[in-house]
Chains A and B, each alone.
Chain A
Amino acid sequence: MESVTQTLMEALALVALTAPMCLLACLGLMGLVGRPPTEQITGRMVTAGFLTSTFAALGLIPALLLSGARQAQVELGTWYAFEGHALYLTLQVDRLSVPFVVLTALLLGVVGSFSHRYLHREPSYGRFFLLLALLGSGTMLVVLAGTADMAFAGWEMVGVSSALLVGFFYERPAPVRNALWVFVIYRLCDVGLFAGIVLLHHAVGSDSFHLLGAGRSWPNGVSTAPIGQATAISILFALAAMGKSALVPFSGWLPRAMEGPTPSSAIFYGALSVHLGPYLLLRAAPLLDRAPVAATLLVVVGALTALHATLVGRVQTDIKCALAYASLTQVGVIFVEIGLGFRLLPLAHCVGHACLRSLQILRAPSMLSDVHEVEAAVGGILPRSGIVLGQLLPSTAQRWMYRWALERCYLDALLERCAVGPFREMAAAADRFERRWTDRLGGTDASAADLALQPTPGKKP
């Protein structure tokens, strides 16, 4: 019996992971050979892919409950191995990954179906679903990954698809600019994950999550890593999670990400993408248990984020940003919960929050009719709520707070000034240096050629 459920679990996990990947491969290959599928065929493929994934994911629940071990590893083989290092391909099925797999599959299915109608006749319909499949594959890979290396691959897939969907309407300048911002923040923070994994190899000698918890099923894993190294790795992982989940001080990218089509906003910033940060930390929980400094850091950053987001969210005047900050508030709380040592609570919180928030974002365009309906029911204009907190403050402080909230606490401006600006200066200096040398070597004035590229006066580009 035990071995049957074990096999079943392994098979289902494999199906849940490969279904979106197959979809990605099909859509991508058909586009590559110059025969992108029609809307209808894309729709059918997406339905088939996500439906398969959903059924497999749902099947994992009873399988997991029936199995005594409450976990399973699926060994897919070794990609490469040499002395002292190997890259194993394994999947981890346990009480952490299964809820996330179910959530991912379900939301992908719902959003896929939603988008099929929402993006009907949109010229970039195919591109959207390609990116959605990339997101699906990436998320599945992260949540099912048995090793940190695999999780990293999925992590990057999610990042790329996220940035590309923010820049979905690339014919306008604003989405492109904002997509670049998102991409830069991701790049910056993913350094943490990468460095963390390298350290993990050194410290533990393996990047297997299973071994990280000494083979015990989640959340009972216990790590034996030295405290110093556990702290370093945890902090690096936390950096990665902070970027992906838009925690302070990186929060500025979240409202900017609202440039894409509504369903992509729902699935990325209401549901999957922002919750990958907590997932990673939950996965690394055995390390966190040994790293009180890192846990404290999480509590502080999470609390700051929650306060920041609830303050800023109060003054947002557009529905998508209001929901984005509402989402961020909860993500901040989830980080606090993780830092305080809770394990099942943040998991439940993630799942509940993802369902509720994505529903809210999908309904965002219907907001006016919803408000009218409620107004009709209540019999008047809805009273303003949430001003209580503001009224507790003296009026000068209120004004000051309002300005700070409206300017999103200047986080982007600070990042721009402290991180982006110096970096740009460095690049500019390098450019000047290179130019001097090319001029000297070529004997011509390279800057003269650039002058011709100056924009011509007129309308906005």
Chain B
Amino acid sequence: MNDSQAASRLESALEHAAHLLPAQGPISVFVHHNTLHAFERMPFDTAVVEAAELYGTSPFLPEGKYRQELGRGRILRRDLLAVLDADLGPEAAGEPIAGVPRRELRMAVLVNGLDAPRGRELGWLLEETDVLRRPLAGLDAESLEKLLDSTRRWFLAELAGRGPAAMATLLTGEADPGRAARALALELGIGPRRGDLEQLIALQAGQVAARTLWHASVRACGRVPYSRSVHEARSPRPRDLLYAATGQDPDELVDPLMIRLAASFLDQGLSYWPMPDRDQGFWRGALGHLSQPAGSPESWQRALPGEASRLLQSGVDAVGSAIESLDLLGVEASEWSDFTARTLLPLRGWAGMFHQLEERPDRVPAHAPPARLADFLAVRLLLDRLAAEHVSGAELGDGYSAARLLAILDGRQSRGPTREERAFALFQVAQLVGLAAGDIDSMERPELVSLLDEIEWFDELERRRHFHLAYERRYREGVLEALAARVPASRANRGSEKRLQVICCLDEREESLRRHLEEAEPECETFGTAGFFGVAMYYRGILDAFARPLCPIVIRPGHLVTEQLDETLEDEHRRKTLVRRVLGRLRSALAVSSRTLARGTLLTAALGTLAALPLVLRVLFPRIAAWLRKRGQLLTRTRGRTRLAVDASEAPALLPGTRVGFTVAEQADIVGRLLEELGIAGQLRTSGPGPARTARLVLVLGHGSSSLNNPHQAAYDCGACGGGRGGANARAFAQMANDPRVRELLAARGLTLPADTRFVGAQHDTCEDAVYYYDLDGVGEEHAAELRLARHAMARALAANAHERCRRFESAPLWLEREDALAHVEGRAQDLAQPRPELGHATNATLVVGRRELTRGLFLDRRAFLASYDPHHDSDGTVLSRILHAVLPVCAGINLEYYFSRVDPTGFGCGTKLPHNIVSMLGVMDGHASDLRAGLPWQMVEIHEPMRLLTVVESPTERILGLMGPRDPLRRLVANRWIQLVALDPNSGRMHLFGETGFQPFEPPAIRLARVSHSFDWYRMRRDSLSAALVERPELEEGGAAWSR
């Protein structure tokens, strides 16, 4: 292999490894994505297990947690049985093993669980607890009776047939009669006499059953060797071998240095003193750094300055050096790929950030350093190499050699579980299904083999997978039953024209707001769509320092829209901007000075005490502090008429690759497309002279979230805006839709918007539950009544929404008055000490793509993404294809990120927020030197129920299958079942569930939905997740006609 071959081989190894690293970019542009994106080509069940193995994480919730859910009825026994039957097939499920149907055997194990003590723990259990003195505690009466009966009969028959001495052997497991007798005396206090033994079985059948069964199990496991393959790590790192052989961890030496180097190289301005030679890349920069004379006194680094200077002077590049290190460590070229991945994974957050900045330097907050993953690998391998040499030398007295370490370890490593460990599983299972020692002893070998195979196959991971499927099934059935119950009603005439329409983001947090709006104002109709409203743009407001992209992360916008001030205000704005700038500079200067030596001394000694005031105010009285802050901002922020420069202009755009504004034709495209997706356009086209399908007032409602104490703030904003706030998009859309030129163009395309329809943009703050309306001065007298109606309805809906959200906050009492809810959520948003300003997307579980009539009035508990789609106005499926391609990856990304961060909060998530420490302005660490933590913090996911997104699409199955191309990422999500897909036929109302073999008919049992007249009646005094209910006003039901005020 020559150099260039080796280099290209290493490059491809790096590429493979890069896929396995977290794909999270800088934290200020947080975008939700599937944590295991790299594994999407595999079916979900296998992928999660394989990934868990690779990362050392957990693929499902802990078994105990699921069993707890079984206990409280969140999972039902019938769900488990259904999962077992589906997994085994009906025949195999009934097939008996050792006289017990397989299904029952597994069920017993699922319900009771198996302890799997290892080594000394098992010895302790046997000797110090009463597992051998009585049958298991959780046995049901039937199995217990069976076990005891069978033991009695067998025991007496054996006693009669083989005599007391043989019984002593069976009771103690000692083959030698003398030792058996002694053990019997010691353990049970009796001798091997017929009378004693008869008395024993009469009085202590339980103890006899347990003891004999245990020894029979040990004998049985001795007869059948362990057959399952023992997993062995491929391409172990030097660290793994050394740690196993010596107990010393070389990573403890390397990691802190590596973290410091990586953090200073990537730093976005947190430190005053940037790393020297950053522009030469990490490899040369780090070498220059490490080659400094008089280096660390730590003994493992003794050779480092010399080695670093040698590399620096030889001019070898990162790839060349990495290959050299791999050779020195004795890694075969065939192992490079795995070895590279294993080398990068221990600090995968940092490695991933290098990769992210290499791929998307445009997403960097301040200045992009020339980051390359190859550089990171080369530095890591260099340090790994030196640390391995050092540890090996110190502990084993010789240089590092993988072969020698493997030889040392070979004698020590255990191969699979011991006989006793296996026997303990058999011992428990036998009791669960009522098998006694005699039954085990008399079992034929093939039967015993299949029993042990069954037990050993059905290990903890497999049990958790079963539980997980049952957990998903319970929720799925509930939602599908509810939707099925709504199908007939949804077909009824959609009633007369509404006065108010609200277009929201499909975000599941808006589900409750939409419900409350419709509850508060029956004259209101709501729609859901991706919250950038089709307006993909860079946006810069008058108060923003930079333009930022507001559109899904996959799109790079080509248009720039700026907010512009009314000319009359320009003087004032200039003045206030100046004040703002001066104050801003002062503030930043104070922050910096307080950390320096001389200025800091003056500042802290002279003025420091003044800080007590904001300290007390902001912590103890956050709402007063916020009010004061807002008053202060009035002085520095221009308020008054602004407008968006939406129209295309010739002005040069400041950003490369963008144009200023949108042409009229582009605007018409945007408006037309959205109206088409919402199903409004179809109505406009076909309604002819009948009532038009737009209300007189259409509110376009983007959303965002404001909070303090929250490095992950961007994760709470609108996902469809790439972690930005969607108000500007809503405003731009409304401005476009109101433009007469746009309407004219649309009319020419056969899409006539009624002349009296007015669009208004607005932004919903999902944390504070406040709505800010844009451009109200443009709304004329003729729409004043509708606007009043809209604002009134919105105010009531926001208060109700805040109250519904409060039920999930443990710090809000359940008996919180409805009037106080808004104050409570506002307080959370402004509180410096609040780690849960809102709960984000927690509990998200469903996506419904279909008409609102299907879900209107359904209490979906803020768990459902709702995208509007009217299958009756989409003849060839193009609209559906557009919607699904835009919406499904975003929602699935959110859902799967929550899934993984919840099932393993520290492995996939970033652990609790409490010790988080912002580093390099790119992410957070735990404490002062840890890996860069990717994923979601525990406080965001703790109430989440990890389930794959249940996606219900109102469409025939063929249409859904038809719109996914062979290499479509959607197909991977669906076919590998990273989502649960259900097709709801718009004509027949039948459902099909996508399973391993494609769409299968699914018939939910007909149920009567619980009915309440107000959402409040359904959720009050409840904290946990709620099932669906129908919220319906009694007046509507009786009167039939629309309720009018």
A122 near B912 (CB under 8 angstroms)?
A: yes
B918 touches A117 (CB 8 A): no
Chain A: minimal CB distance from B5 (Å): 33
- Picked from B273, B581, B595, B810, the residue with its CB within 8 Å of the CB of A121 is B810
- In whole Å, how far is A111's beta carbon from the nearest beta carbon of chain B? 8
Residues of A within 8 A of B755 (CB): none
- Please determine whether B581 and A379 come into contact, CB atoms closer than 8 angstroms: yes
Q: Tell me the minimal C-beta distance from A390 to chain B in angstroms.
A: 5
Known contacts A118-B835, A405-B273; is A110 also within 8 Å of B616 by CB?
Answer: yes
Distance to closest chain A CB from B52 (angstroms) = 11
In the complex, A456 Cα to B614 Cα: how many Å? 53
- A387 and B927 contact, CB distance less than 8 A: no
Q: Please tell me if the beta carbons of A113 and B251 are within 8 angstroms of each other in the complex.
A: no
Report the minimum CB–CB distance from A175 to chain B (whole Å): 6
Residues on the B chain within 8 Å of A367, using CB? 711, 918, 921
Interface string of A366-408 (1 = CB under 8 A from B): 1111011111111111101111001000010011101101110
B305 smallest CB distance to A (angstroms): 10
Given A323-B595, A359-B611, residue A399 in contact with residue B920 (CB < 8 A): no
Interface residues on A, range: 35 or more
Q: Is A322 an interface residue (CB 8 A)?
A: yes
Q: Is the CB of A384 within 8 A of B581?
A: no
Q: Mark B335-376, 1 if CB is under 8 A from A, else 0.
A: 000000000001000000000000000000011000000000
Instruction: Assess whether B627 is interfacial by the CB under 8 Å rule.
Output: no
| A399 partner, pick from B247, B276, B618, beta carbons under 8 A | B276
Query: Are the C-beta atoms of B927 and A178 separated by less than 8 Å?
Result: yes
Q: Which of B220-228, B294-302, B566-574 contacts its partner?
A: B294-302
Q: Provided the pairs A318-B928, A378-B545, A378-B585 are in contact, do residues A326 and B600 lie with their beta carbons within 8 angstroms?
A: yes
A352 interface neighbour in B273, B595, B608, B927, Cβ under 8 Å: B608
- For the complex, is A260 an interface residue (Cβ under 8 Å from B)? yes
B261-269, B440-448, B790-798 - the one binding chain A: B261-269
Q: Are B913 and A365 in contact (CB under 8 A)?
A: yes
Pairwise interchain contact A368-B293, C-beta atoms closer than 8 A: no
Contact mask for chain A residues 236-255; partner B; CB cutoff 8 A; 1 contact, 0 none: 00000000000000000001
Cβ of B713 and Cβ of A369 under 8 Å apart?
yes
Q: Chain A residue with minimal CB distance to B120?
A: A452
Kindly specify which of B737-745, B826-834, B968-976 makes contact with the partner chain. B826-834
Q: Which residues of A contact B601 (CB under 8 A)?
A: 330, 333, 349
How distant is B910 from chain A, measured CB to nearest CB, in Å? 13
Given contacts A174-B930, A460-B249, contact A366 B56 (CB under 8 A): no
- Inter-chain contact A318/B263, CB cutoff 8 Å: yes
Residues of chain A with a CB closer than 8 A to B918's CB: 318-319, 364-365, 367-368
Task: Name the prevailing secondary structure of the A interface residues.
Answer: helix
Our pick among A110, A358, A378, A417 for the contact of B584 (Cβ within 8 Å) is A378
Chain A residues with Cβ below 8 Å from B610 are 355
List B248-297 residues whose CB lies under 8 Å from chain A: 249, 251, 260-261, 263-264, 267, 269-277, 288-290, 292-297
Q: Is the CB of A390 within 8 A of B594?
A: no
* CB < 8 Å neighbour of A387 from B273, B413, B597, B831: B273
Residue contact A306 to B833, C-beta cutoff 8 Å: no
**Is B272's CB under 8 angstroms from A384's CB?**
yes
Q: Is the CB of A377 within 8 A of B583?
A: yes
- CB A286 to nearest CB in B, in angstroms, measures 23
Q: How far is the CB of A77 from chain B (nearest CB, A)?
A: 35
Choose from B28, B588, B916, B928 the contact partner of A382 (Cβ within 8 Å): B588
Give the chain B neighbours of A34 by CB distance below 8 A. none
Is A456's CB under 8 angstroms from B926's CB? Answer: no
Most interface-central of B56, B247, B589, B811 (chain A CB within 10 A): B811
Q: Is A120 an interface residue (CB 8 A)?
A: yes
Scan B898-926; emit 1 where CB is below 8 A from any A CB, else 0.
Answer: 00000000000000111111111100011
* Interchain CB contact under 8 A, A118 and B914: yes
**Which one of B251, B600, B615, B912 has the highest number of Cβ atoms from chain A below 10 Å of its Cβ?**
B615
Which of B831, B920, B929 is in CB contact (< 8 Å) with A174?
A: B929
Any chain A CB within 8 A of the CB of B27?
yes
Determine if A362 and B927 form an interchain contact, defined as CB atoms under 8 angstroms apart.
no
- Does B1006 sit at the interface, judged by CB under 8 A? no
Residue B634 is within 8 A (CB to CB) of chain A in the complex: no
**By the criterion CB–CB under 8 Å, are A174 and B713 in contact?**
no
The answer to whether B930 touches A376, judged by C-beta atoms less than 8 angstroms apart, is no
A227 on interface, CB distance cutoff 8 Å: no
Tell me, yes or no, whether A345 is within 8 Å of chain B by CB.
Answer: yes
B580 on interface, CB distance cutoff 8 Å: yes
One of A201-209, A308-316, A427-435 contacting the partner: A308-316
Mark interface residues in A246-273 (1 if CB within 8 Å of B CB, else 0).
0000000001101111110000000000
Do residues A326 and B595 form an inter-chain contact, with CB atoms below 8 A? yes
Is A3 located at the chain interface by the 8 A CB criterion? no
With A174-B929, A306-B597 known as contacts, the answer to whether A377 contacts B263 (CB < 8 A) is: no
Contact of A374 among B588, B636, B832 (CB under 8 A): B588
Which among B28, B608, B834 is the interface contact of A355 at CB below 8 angstroms? B608
Residues of A with C-beta under 8 A to B2: none
Closest to B620 in A: A113
Task: Report if B781 contacts A (CB, 8 A).
Answer: no
Give 1 or 0 for each of B53-76: 1 = CB within 8 Å of chain A CB: 000100000000000000000000
**Which single residue of chain B is at the shortest CB-CB distance from A403?**
B292
Q: Does B324 contact A (CB under 8 A)?
A: no
Of the residues B272, B290, B834, contact of A386 by C-beta under 8 Å:
B272
- Return chain B residues, CB-CB under 8 Å to A318: 263, 270, 917-920, 925, 928
Contact of A363 among B251, B409, B832 (CB under 8 A): B832
Residue A437 at the B interface, CB < 8 A? Answer: no
Are B832 and A457 in touch, CB under 8 angstroms?
A: no
Is B604's CB within 8 Å of the partner chain A? yes
Known: A330-B600, A359-B611, A390-B273. A399 touches B289 (CB 8 A): yes
Q: A29 near B: Cβ within 8 Å?
A: no
B588–A378 touching, CB < 8 Å: yes
Bound-state CA distance A417–B700 (Å) is 66
Render A112-154 as a binary contact track against B, CB cut-off 8 A, 1 for contact: 0111111111100000000000000000000000000000000
Interface centre among B271, B346, B412, B834, by most chain A C-beta atoms within 10 angstroms, is B271
| Contact B289–A402 (Cβ < 8 Å) | yes
Q: Does B313 contact A (CB under 8 A)?
A: no
Q: Which residues of B contact A426 (CB under 8 A)?
A: none
Q: Which residue of B lies closest to A266 (CB)?
A: B615
Q: Give the docked Cα–Cα distance between A294 and B117 (Å).
A: 61
* Closest CB in chain A relative to B615 CB, distance in Å: 4
Q: Are A320 and B600 in contact (CB under 8 A)?
A: no
Which residues on the A side are within 8 Å of B600 (C-beta)? 326, 329-330, 333
Set of chain A residues within 8 Å of B292, measured between Cβ atoms: 399-400, 403
Q: Please tell me if the beta carbons of B271 and A315 are within 8 angstroms of each other in the complex.
A: yes
Query: What's the minimum C-beta distance from B723 to chain A, rounded to whole angstroms?
Result: 12
Known: A330-B604, A378-B581, A405-B273. A459 touches B56 (CB 8 A): yes
Question: In this assembly, does A106 line the interface, its C-beta being within 8 Å of a C-beta of chain B?
Answer: yes
CB neighbours of B585 from chain A (8 A): 378
A316 touches B271 (CB 8 A): yes
Asked if A386 contacts B273 (CB within 8 A), the reply is yes
Instruction: Please give me the residue from chain B that is nearest to A332 by CB atom.
Output: B597
10 A–B contacts from the bound complex (CB under 8 Å)? A110-B615, A118-B835, A120-B836, A174-B927, A349-B604, A352-B611, A372-B545, A407-B296, A413-B297, A457-B243
Q: Tell me the A residues contacting B by CB distance below 8 Å.
A: 106, 109-110, 113-122, 168-169, 172, 174-175, 178, 255-256, 258-263, 306-307, 310, 313-323, 325-326, 329-330, 333, 345, 348-349, 351-360, 362-369, 371-382, 384-387, 390, 395, 398-400, 402-403, 405-407, 410, 413-414, 416-417, 454-460
**A-B contacts besides A406-B264, A407-B260, 13 pairs, CB < 8 Å:** A113-B620, A169-B926, A325-B595, A330-B600, A355-B610, A356-B607, A359-B618, A377-B636, A386-B596, A399-B292, A400-B294, A458-B244, A460-B251
Name the 10 nearest CB pairs between A and B, nearest first: A352-B608, A377-B584, A386-B272, A457-B244, A326-B595, A259-B927, A318-B919, A261-B914, A356-B611, A353-B604
